[in-house]
Each structure stands twice: as C-alpha cells, then as structure tokens.
Amino acid sequence: MDLSVAQIVIWVAYFISLYIVIFWLLTYIDRGVWLKKIEIKRFPFVSIVVPVLNEEKNIIWTLDSLVNMNYPRDKIEIIVVNDASTDNSRGEILDYISKHKEFSIIYLENEKNMGKHYGVNRALSVAKGEFFVCLDADSAVHPEALSKMLPHFDYDENLAVVLPLMKIINPENMLQRIQWCEYLLNFFYKSLMSMVNCVHVAPGPFSVFRRDILTKLGGIRRSYNTEDFEVSLRIQRSHYKLLQVLDAEVYTKPPKTIKGFYRQRNRWYKGTMLTLMDYKDMIFNRKYGDFGVLQLPRVMLSGFLAVGMITFTGYRYVIKPLWKDILNWSAINFDFSVWLRNFHFSFNWLNIDFTNTFFFLISLSIGLIIILYAYYYTRERIFKFGFLTVPAYIVLYGIMASIVWCGVFIDLIFRKSKLKW
Amino acid sequence: MVERELSKKRYFLAFIFTSAVFIIGLLLGLLLTSLKFDFIDQYQQDFRTDILTFDVQDMLLQEDICKFDVNQLDDEFGVMSEQVSVLEDKLGKYDEDVLRMKEYYSLLEIRHMLLVEKLKNYCDYDYDIILFFYSNEEDECVDCEMQGYLLGYIKQKYDNVFIYSFDINIDNNALELLKKRYNVNTLTLVINDEINYGFIEKEEIENKI
C-alpha cells in the first residue's frame, strides 16, 4: 500500500476524532443524558447581570425576556452594566427602567470601555442574590428557564453552575441555519459531557452560578476574551460541577455574515488555546479525572486535528490534483471541446478508494445518529428550516471551522494574539 | 469537592471499537484491491483471446486481413490502461504486482502495435502510430505526466491515431528491443517512426500526424 504523509496525517486525525466520538457515544449508552426534571420548591433571590456594549438594537429584547420570566419579581434583581457604549444603548436602557419601575433594575455605567469581565465583576460586587446569572445583551431567555434550572442546585452542593440549552433564534440565512444546527449538536454533546463532569465552558447567555462559589473563586477574570472558558476551568480545578440541562432554553442571535462568523470563532478558538496554556497543568492530569485525561486534551487537539485535516485533505484531494489539471490543461491550450465532444459518463466501482470511502461512510453514519439524537433531545424538527440545513451543516461546518482554526494558528504564529470583539 | 472518575472501561472500549473500524476499513481496501487485480486479469485474458482470434483470421484469410476491425480492441485497451494506472496510484509504482501487470500490459501493447503496423502497411490505411516512452520517476522526467495527458487529448481528437505508452523502467526483453530500435532516452516520442526527445507541444504533434 502506498502511504503518503498526507494519508497518514488524515488517518491519524480520523482515528483520534473517531475515538472521541465513540467515547461519547459509549457515555450516552452507559449514562444517557441529564433529563431529570425537578419542580421548583423555593424561589431564591437571583441577580442577573446584563453587560452591554453598543446593543441598542437588542437590549430591549433581552430585558423584555427577563421581566417576562415566570419567577417572582421580588426575587430578581437585574443589573445592567453599560460598558461605555457609543450608540444609544444608554437612552434605551434608562427609558426601559423608567417604564418598568415595578422591577428591581440597577443601572451601572463604566466611564470608559473596560471589557466584559470588569462589568460582570462590578455587578457581582453589588449583587445580593444567592445565584448569579449573566445574560449577554444579544440573547433572550425562555420564561420558564430560571425555574427549571434552579432546583438542580438543591440536590448537589458541589454544583457550581447550571447551563441552559442555547438555541439560535429565527435563523435568516444558511450561515445562521448551519449555526442553529451546530448549537443543537454542541449542547447535546455538552449534556453528555456533564454526565461525567467534563463540561469545559459555561457560555455567556444565562449560565446560573452559585454566587458564593463564584465570589470565592475570584469572580470573572480577563482572559483573552474567553472569560466563560477561563471561569469554567477554575471551577473544574476546584472540583466543582457544571451541569448542562436541556429543558431550559435561551435564545441568541449568531453572526449573519461569513466575516462576522470568522471573527467570532477566531476570538473563541484563539482565546481557548491561550487560556488553555494558562491551565496546561490540568491537561492529561489524572487528578481531574476524565476532564483532565480526555476532555482538555480533546479541546487542545481539536485545533490541530482541524488544521491537519483541512490542510492535508485539501492538499491531497483539491490542491494537488487541481494544480496537476491546470498544468495538463495548459498543455492542450485549455481546449476542452474535444473532451466535451467525447464525454460519456462512466463509473467503475473498482476505482473507488475503498478504505477512505469506508471511513467516510462510518463517520457519516455516526454523525447522522448523533444529529438525530441531538434533535430529539433538544425538541427540534430536522427539517424545520428546510431540507438543506442538515446537509449544509455536514458538508460545510467542518470546513468553516477548520479554516478559522488555520487563521488562528497563523495569528498565533505571527503573534497577532491581540484580540478584538 | 466532587469526586473525580476515570472512565477506564470506556477508554478501552472506545479504543477497541475505533481500532475495529480501522482494521475493517484497511482489510476491505486490501480485499477489494485484489478483486481489481482479478478484474484486470480477466480483461487481459479477453484481449489475448482477441489477438489470437486475429492471428488465426490472418492465417486463414490472408487476403481478408483488411476487414479486421482493429478498433474493437480499443475499448478493452482503454479499460486496462485505466485500471493499471489506478492500481499504480493506489499501490505505488514499486509494487511487485503492479510491475508484473505493467510488464504484461506493455507486451500486449507491442502485440497490438505490430497488428496496427501490419494493417497500415498491408491495407494502406491512414493510421498514425505514436510510441510514448516515459518514466514515472519524477527526478528522471518532470514533463512525462503532462506529455501523457496531451497524448490522451490527441487520441480523443483523432480517430486514426494509435498511441502506445511504455514505462522505460519495465524490465522486459521485448521492450528492451523496442528501446534499442528507437534509441530511447527518458522522454521519447516516436511519431510514425520519427524519433523526438523531450516534451513535444500539441501543435508540433498535430503537424507530424
């Protein structure tokens, strides 16, 4: 068998990816997902911080969802922190507060832009709630979300954070629909991860923290604009638990353009890699159980696998043959008329690359099983946004994410680690 | 503090399942590649039968040799050529089975060429015969692949052109004779007995046929 470097790299990446997917499938068979529904018996006081930076278009939607929550209004305080927005966010917020005096809404404003972590910590310092929640100003929450998430804390004193199921709201174009699909899969995966306490990131929209634990751990720290990941690592390092539930929903608006998607993911992935370097002692550390031995190495490897896959697959199956074709076409002066005249479709199944086709079909089958499970547990219909969404996700998402990873590595190599929102 | 667990059993099972997928994939590849050899063997057998048929026809009906349709062998030739190059790509140019198959294929090519030459001379057919001597070693011949593609184009464009490709590194006495006859260098193109060395452009080939 003729083995090229490209083929070996592709197979190694494939083996590791398949191993990780099979591990989570076995976890599902062994443990299932967290479906425990507990009726709320007490209504603890909850502080909700909404950090705002130029969100005049979304802030009312976000605040509306909070005041419409099915939770006693005297048990909630909303702390809006305006991080020196340059648009009319301030006017919108103050107007909203004046119209909703029956709610406890505190308005804080930073004189200059200080970053999300500063605003959240400022809110944490004045928060009175037993629980502390952060809701990004481009997201909204289901009326029942809080009352579905809080009861879990009563049954486990080591539980530090409960994460909601985050869904994309009203995806308008194919890029947003692909992200809609991605979110459902991610949160299904996270629910599996939480069965073995392997959740590695508590996302910005509406993760509910025990305030005393968060305060004890030092609040939110600035960390390459991926503070969600950093605080989760600190929680894991202190051996607390993060639980992903699937019955409490939060809605968010994803990037609409390729450029926006690239910038967002570049920030996430780059921040993840840099933050992970600050916690490298946890990687492969048996003290942290599956989280240290499997999950963190997976997070670390995902970028390398993506870059390895896209570069070597691209080289072997696209760039190399295309370059060869261009050279050959130049030899016939790009005269395709002969080829078109004599063209007849012929298929010989013996010409198929059997091994790689088999691997591809196995991956596709496992992927489809996971997609079906994800849609089932997140209560969504596969064809809700048309027949093309899932195929587009399968075909394009991996390529898109891999391209972003390539950009991240280029940035890191050329030390462009200064991050922008 | 929550107690940490290490899912050793699941790590082990995941490794077993992943390895199983890999082993099945690789075995499947090997199995189906051997089927491909059988497939080509069958084609070579058919081709040999057709050549023999021609020889017998030739002996029985000397004066009717011109009625023989040489194009009927072309399809089999095309499939064989494609399969040999697919196998070479898949198993590598140094694979013993590939080399054996290429050697046999070259002999069939020579036999076919002799037949076409005979038809050309005896029946006065307007056939053009091109012999293409190439090497798969990239350091020996960088233009060979492009020349091969160009000849494929010529073959498609002109019905009466017969092209025979020979890997100069195949070790066979008949091929050695042919190489001596045309004083073959690495990339050599023999167009109707005229010897050309190096890459020959499209227009130049078209002028010579």
Q: What is the mean pLDDT of residues A234-263?
A: 95
Residue B63: pLDDT over 70: no
Say whether A197 and B10 touch across the interface (CB within 8 A).
no
Per the domain annotation, does A332 fall within a domain?
Answer: no
Residue A145: which CATH number? 3.90.550.10
pLDDT of residue A339: 82
B38 at interface of A, judged by CB pairs closer than 8 A: no
B85 at interface of A, judged by CB pairs closer than 8 A: no
Q: Which residues of B touch A356 (CB under 8 A)?
A: 25
Confidence of residue A121 (pLDDT cuts 50, 70, 90): very high
pLDDT of residue A419: 47
Q: What is the mean pLDDT of residues A168-194?
A: 95
Q: Whose structure tokens read 């809006």? A: A80
Q: Which residues fall within 8 angstroms of residue B98, CB to CB, at 6 or more apart?
A: B84, B87, B88, B91, B92
Residue A292: pLDDT over 50: yes
3-state helix, strand, coil in chain B (%, to 5): 65, 10, 25
pLDDT of residue A418: 53
pLDDT of residue B80: 73
- % of chain B exceeding 90 in pLDDT: 33
Per the domain annotation, does A115 fall within a domain?
Answer: yes
What does the mean pLDDT of chain A come to? 91
Q: Which residues of B touch A293 (CB under 8 A)?
A: 6, 11
pLDDT of residue A223: 83
Say whether A350 and B10 touch across the interface (CB within 8 A).
no
Per the domain annotation, does A406 fall within a domain?
Answer: no
Distance from CA of B36 to the nearest CA of A (A): 6
Q: CB pairs below 8 Å between A and B: how many?
A: 123
Per the domain annotation, does A384 fall within a domain?
Answer: no
Confidence of residue A200 (pLDDT cuts 50, 70, 90): very high
Say whether A2 and B13 touch across the interface (CB within 8 A).
no
Distance from CA of B63 to the nearest CA of A (A): 34
Residue A375: pLDDT over 80: yes
Confidence of residue A420 (pLDDT cuts 50, 70, 90): very low
Interface test with B, best of A30, A153, A332, A343 (most B CBs within 10 A): A332
Range list of β-strands (E), A91-206: 104-109, 131-134, 139-141, 159-168
Q: Which residues of B touch A18 (CB under 8 A)?
A: 18, 21
pLDDT tens per residue, range B123-158 = 888 899 999 999 887 777 888 889 999 998 998 888
Q: What is the mean pLDDT of residues A45-60?
A: 94
Sheet containing strand A139-141, strands side by side: A104-109, A76-82, A46-52, A131-134, A207-210, A159-168, A241-252, A139-141
Q: Whose structure tokens read 């090497």? A: B135
Phi/psi-derived region of residue A115, left when phi > 0, alpha when psi is between -120 and 50, beta in every other case: left
Q: Can you tell me the distance from the alpha carbon of A376 to that of A391, in angstroms, rounded to the nearest whole number?
A: 17
B78 at interface of A, judged by CB pairs closer than 8 A: no
Q: What are phi and psi of A2, to 5 degrees?
A: -85, 110
Q: Can you tell me the distance from the alpha carbon of A181 to that of A374, in angstroms, rounded to the nearest whole number?
A: 9
Q: Can you tell me the distance from the alpha carbon of A353 to that of A349, in angstroms, rounded to the nearest whole number?
A: 9
Say whether B21 and A342 touch across the interface (CB within 8 A).
no
Confidence of residue A313 (pLDDT cuts 50, 70, 90): confident
Per the domain annotation, does A319 fall within a domain?
Answer: no
Say whether A22 and B14 touch across the interface (CB within 8 A).
yes
pLDDT of residue B137: 79
Question: Largest alpha-carbon pair distance within chain A?
Answer: 80
pLDDT of residue A317: 86
pLDDT of residue B62: 62
In chain A, whose CA is at the least distance from the CA of B149? A328
pLDDT of residue B42: 77
Q: What is the mean pLDDT of residues B163-176?
A: 91
Q: What is the mean pLDDT of residues A275-302?
A: 95
Distance from CA of A12 to the nearest CA of B (A): 11
pLDDT tens per residue, range B81-128 = 777 777 777 777 777 878 888 888 888 889 888 888 888 888 888 899
B positions 165-184 inside 8 Å of A (CB): none
Q: What is the mean pLDDT of residues A366-394?
A: 93
Per the domain annotation, does A361 fall within a domain?
Answer: no
Residue A417: pLDDT over 60: no
Per the domain annotation, does A311 fall within a domain?
Answer: no
Beta bridge partners of residue A244, listed in sequence order = A163
Residue A27: pLDDT over 50: yes
Looking at the structure of chain A, the number of domains it has is: 1
Q: Which residues of B touch A286 (CB under 8 A)?
A: 6
- % of chain A exceeding 90 in pLDDT: 76
What does the mean pLDDT of chain B come to? 84
Q: What is the mean pLDDT of residues A34-59?
A: 90
Range list of β-strands (E), A183-312: 207-210, 241-252
Confidence of residue A388 (pLDDT cuts 50, 70, 90): very high
CATH number belonging to domain B126-209: 3.40.30.10
pLDDT of residue B100: 82
Q: Whose structure tokens read 């070996």? A: A8
The larger pLDDT score, comparing residue B160 to residue B15, is at: B15
Beta bridge partners of residue A108, listed in sequence order = A81
Q: Which residues fall within 8 angstroms of residue A14, CB to CB, at 6 or more apart?
A: A309, A359, A363
Task: Provide the residue range defining the domain that includes A52.
Answer: 46-173+182-258
Residue A421: pLDDT over 50: no
Per the domain annotation, does A195 fall within a domain?
Answer: yes
